[in-house]
Amino acid sequence: MPTVRFWVFDGILASGVAGPIDVLHAANSLASKRTAGSRATSPKFVWRVESLDGQPVRAASGQSIAVDGCIDARKRSDAILVTAPFVADMDAFLARHDQVRDLSSALRLQHKAGTLLASYCTGSYLLAEAGLLDHRIATTHWSRAADFSRRYPKVELRSREVLTEQSGILCGGAVTSYLNLAVRLVERLTDSKLAMLVAKTLLIDVNRASQASYATLLDEQGHTDQLVVRAQRQMEATLQQRFRMSDLAAHLAVSERTLHRRFKQAVGDTPVGYLQTLRVEVAKRLLESGDVDLDAISERVGYGDPSTFRQLFKHKTELSPREYQRRFARSLD
């Protein structure tokens, strides 16, 4: 009888609780049908929703989420799923020092006891705050990758992956990866056949191995370096033209060395690397608009050789341009 505990707090998404619980409920139902008429017994998942003080929590949407009791760091369970905060400002969330400290302490005790730990999206921050991801692989929401790496340099972050698992710790990527995470818990606590049956029944794509095709590649947080802002605007204005670092530096009246250094400091990438990312982002928007000719898109973003463009696009998104278009285009006749 596998027991899964959900640890919740204010600011989570309600679906991050209901979704995984629905997966466990479906597993119970399908397991019962699978063993009906036989002597075999089906594993029945049991779950509890818990908060630090045993009181209901308020989701980011304002919805009240009922709980079954307090988080008890010493209570036995097979797995714990830490729900993720849905917040724009992780600094403010992590500044809730008492909450983070208590959750960290409880997580360390549970991991030491051999409990399977799982979280997704920004919940990975809580696992990292507890020191449980140091020198281990992890993933998080693709948009948080740079911030996460800055905060937790000891973690081997694999931000393109939807799921990671090491040393009894499972991490999921962006928000709805909680469904993939729940299916993986079914597999780890019962068997792979039941997990696959649950995934098929609930239409959960367990084969989505990468977040790369969903990611917005450009950092939208901005910076204050006006030289780099001017460089970025010039790149956008001359996107179709052949790029020369010397031409851009001359346009800005600075040396190539200065431009390279300032760009790296402000954006975290070289001018050439940023330009490649910019070209792929523009191509993605064009592909999403419908059945646009790929050669025309290649030319529009500055690649006279379509094969070079396709190679770059696949490297950045892990999908070919045509595959990306099939998946994300708004209308294809």
pLDDT tens string 76-109: 899 999 999 998 789 999 999 999 999 999 999 9
Question: Is residue 260 packed enough to be buried (19+ CB in 10 Å), middle (13-18) or exposed (0-12)?
Answer: middle
Element (H, E) at 7: strand 3-7
Q: What share of the chain is helix, strand, coil (3-state, %, to 5)?
A: 50, 15, 40
Q: Give the pLDDT confidence score for residue 233 in this predicted structure.
A: 87
Can you give the pLDDT at residue 286? Answer: 86
Give the strand pairing for 46-51 and 3-7.
Answer: parallel
Torsion angles phi and psi, residue 116, rounded to 5: -75, 125
Pick the CATH number of 226-328 from 1.10.10.60, 3.30.450.40, 3.40.1180.10, 1.10.260.40: 1.10.10.60
Beta strands in 123-224 (DSSP E): 137-138, 156-157, 163-166, 169-172
| Residue 70, Ramachandran bin (φ over 0: left; ψ between -120 and 50: alpha; else beta) | beta
Partnered with residue 82 across adjacent β-strands are: 7, 119
pLDDT one-digit tens code per residue, 130-189: 999 999 999 999 888 888 999 999 999 998 888 999 999 999 999 999 999 999 999 999
The span from the first CA to the last CA of the chain, in angstroms, equals 50
* Strand boundaries in 16-71, DSSP class E: 46-51, 57-58, 64-65, 69-70
Tokens of 196: 């696959």
- What is the DSSP pairing of strand 137-138 with strand 156-157? parallel
pLDDT band at 257 (very low <50, low <70, confident <90, very high): very high
What is the pTM assigned to this prediction?
Answer: 0.71
* Averaged pLDDT score across all residues of the chain: 89
**Would the pLDDT of 220 be above 80?**
no
Task: Characterise 11 by phi-psi region: left (phi > 0), alpha (psi -120 to 50), beta (else).
Answer: left
pLDDT of 40 reads 59
- pLDDT bucket at 218, cuts 50 / 70 / 90: low
The CATH H-level superfamily of 3-214 is Class I glutamine amidotransferase (GATase) domain (3.40.50.880)
CA distance 233 to 114: 53
pLDDT higher than 50, residue 224: yes
Which residue carries 């191995």 as its tokens? 209
At 254, the amino acid letter reads: V
Residue range 282-332, pLDDT digits in tens: 888 888 877 678 888 898 889 888 899 999 999 988 889 988 888 887 654
pLDDT in the model for residue 304: 85
Name the one residue in this structure whose structure tokens are 């302490």.
Answer: 105
Res 38: pLDDT: 61
Structure tokens at 328: 């994300």
Looking at 17-21, 40-44, 271-275, 323-327, which range is the least confident one?
A: 40-44
Supply the DSSP symbol for 80. Answer: E
Torsion sign across C-alpha atoms 277, 281, 286, 292: positive
CA nearest 158: which of 168, 171, 147?
171
Determine the pLDDT at residue 41.
61
Amino acid residing at 195: A
* Sign of the alpha-carbon torsion through 88, 185, 205, 148: positive
Q: Which residue shows structure tokens 């340099």? A: 153
DSSP 190: S
Q: Which amino acid is at 215?
A: A
Are 277 and 269 in contact by the 8 Å Cβ rule? The answer is: yes
Q: Residue 324 has what pLDDT?
A: 87
List every span in the chain annotated with CATH 3.40.50.880. Answer: 3-214
Q: How confident is the model over 29-57, as pLDDT tens digits?
A: 999 887 665 665 666 899 999 999 999 99
Looking at 95-136, which runs of residues are DSSP E strands? 116-120
What are the tens digits of pLDDT across the range 114-128? 999 999 999 999 999
| Domain span(s) for CATH 1.10.10.60 in the chain | 226-328
For the cut 50, the answer to whether the pLDDT of residue 333 exceeds it is no
Contacts of residues 303-310 at CB distance under 8 Å and 24 or more positions apart, as own/partner, are 303/279, 309/279, 309/283
pLDDT above 50: residue 196: yes
Q: How far is CA 147 from CA 6, 127, 315, in A?
A: 26, 15, 22
**225-230 mean pLDDT:** 89
